[in-house]
């Protein structure tokens, strides 16, 4: 049974989300603050986390940062504010999706199911290894090795590299990458893609004599190209 942890300091929200998720057959746990979330993360095997950003003790941003430093656990953030900076910061820290309060429980359940489908597909496709001059991208271990050095990539950076590497020479628009990496129903800002791509390229360019694989197509988006 899939286990989902709901982290929110508002009891009514936790209770409402629990009812909808349990109707769908999920096992549900609750956490009331950031410290409780991190304790649950350390002691139990959760399949997905719904994380409120504005929590006491340790806020959702710090929780997301700490979890992402150790795990690829799927995370959907909840924010009471529609501020773009909240959403973008949460995504840049490694969250997979976001829902703005007040929200429809049915929409949240749909987002959860969509994210779990993407994760399951990634697992089923996880035996694929892409080889390029000086670069290996292993979907099974979720590791990218460039010139003999393992790149310290976040989950989203790895997914962007892997997706583009599967289609050498294809130009992806920012919207296409948002859909493929964050989900078909993701309503994000395309600048989130720019931020992740820039960080990915910075990490790759730090490797001495490494070929440049990720290229900007001005006015359109990005592509993975093998030169030589």
> How many other β-carbons are positioned within 10 Å of the β-carbon of residue 80?
15
Where are any strands of DSSP class E within 14-120?
Answer: 27-31, 48-52, 75-79, 97-100
At 195-220, the pLDDT tens digits run: 889 989 999 999 988 999 999 999 89
Domain ranges for the chain: 3-123, 127-224
At 78-89, the pLDDT tens digits run: 887 666 667 777
Over residues 162-189, the mean pLDDT reads 81
> Alpha-carbon distance 12 to 52, whole Å?
13
At 117-140, the pLDDT tens digits run: 776 655 445 558 899 999 999 987
pLDDT of residue 204: 95
User: Lowest mean pLDDT: which of 76-85, 155-164, 171-180, 198-207?
Assistant: 76-85
Q: What is the model's pTM?
A: 0.65
Instruction: Provide CATH code, domain 3-123.
Output: 3.40.50.2300
At 30-61, the pLDDT tens digits run: 999 999 999 999 888 898 999 998 888 888 88
> Alpha-carbon distance 186 to 123, whole Å?
21
**CATH 1.10.540.10 given to domain 127-224:** no
- Of 204, 193, 202, residue with least CA distance to 136: 204
């Amino acid at each position: 049974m899939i286990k989902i942890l709901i982290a929110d300091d508002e009891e009514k929200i936790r209770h409402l989300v629990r009812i909808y998720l349990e109707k769908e057959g999920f096992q549900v746990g609750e956490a009331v603050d950031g410290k409780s979330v991190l304790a649950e993360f350390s002691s139990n095997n959760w399949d997905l986390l719904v994380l409120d950003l504005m929590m006491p003790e340790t806020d959702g941003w710090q929780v997301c940062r700490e979890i992402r430093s150790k795990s690829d656990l799927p995370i959907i953030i909840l924010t009471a504010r529609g501020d773009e900076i909240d959403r973008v910061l949460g995504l840049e820290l490694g969250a997979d999706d976001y829902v703005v309060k007040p929200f429809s429980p049915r929409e949240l359940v749909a987002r959860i199911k969509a994210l779990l489908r993407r994760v399951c597909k990634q697992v089923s496709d996880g035996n694929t290894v892409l080889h390029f001059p000086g670069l290996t991208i292993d979907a099974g271990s979720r590791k990218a090795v460039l010139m003999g050095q393992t790149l310290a990539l976040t989950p989203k950076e790895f997914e962007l590299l892997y997706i583009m590497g599967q289609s050498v020479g294809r130009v992806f628009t920012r919207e296409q990458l948002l859909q493929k990496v964050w989900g078909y129903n993701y309503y994000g800002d395309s600048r989130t893609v720019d931020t992740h791509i820039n960080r990915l390229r910075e990490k790759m360019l730090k490797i001495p004599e490494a070929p440049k694989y990720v290229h900007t197509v001005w006015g359109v988006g990005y592509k993975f190209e093998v030169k030589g």
